[in-house]
Amino acid sequence: MAKEKEECIFCKIARKEIPAEIVYESENFIAFPDVNPKTKGHTLIIPKKHYENLVEMPDILGNELIETIKKVAEIRFKQGADGFNIVVNTGEAAGQIVMHAHIHILPRKKKEKIQFPCDTENNV
């Protein structure tokens, strides 16, 4: 296995070497809670295969990704979310810290204020 994939934290989660609560799983994607949630139910969706970012991910996975986003949203709506934001930090300049493609699903409640972008390092 390439060193990059061997050491990638999200590959380890996808391979179930690191335990994570699986919120939803499809053929090519896995959704689990962000370890440092910005809102209640903050969830990450990742492709099981290692792609550095969304741009590197094959287009063919697009439909399944949208389906997975909808499934996660449905789960969070049932748990009381009123809406959600999708954030995709792509590249270091945009605040991407984990170099394995991932989509942030940020469930929102009415009148709840959060800061965008969800850039933990720069907090711009």
CB 120 within 8 A of CB 95: yes
8 binds Zn ion (CB under 5 A): yes
Active site residue 102: yes
CB 31 within 8 A of CB 22: yes
95 binds ligand 5GP (CB under 6 A): yes
- String marking each residue 59-88 x if it binds ligand 5GP according to CB under 6 A: ------------------------------
Strand order of the β-sheet with 83-87 is: 24-25, 29-33, 43-47, 103-108, 83-87
Among 1, 3, 36, 60, indicate the residue that binds ligand 5GP (CB under 6 A). 36
100 binds Zn ion (CB under 5 A): yes
Residue in 42, 50, 100, 102 annotated catalytic: 102
Closer CB to ligand 5GP, 63 or 122, in the complex: 122
Backbone angles phi, psi at 93, to 5 degrees: -60, -25
Place of tokens 């550095």: 52
Residues 6 or more apart from 73 whose CB is under 8 A from it?
Answer: 81, 84, 105
Closer CB to ligand 5GP, 60 or 79, in the complex: 79
Active site (catalytic) residues = 102
Q: Which residues bind ligand 5GP (CB under 6 A)?
A: 9, 20, 32-36, 44, 89, 95-98, 120
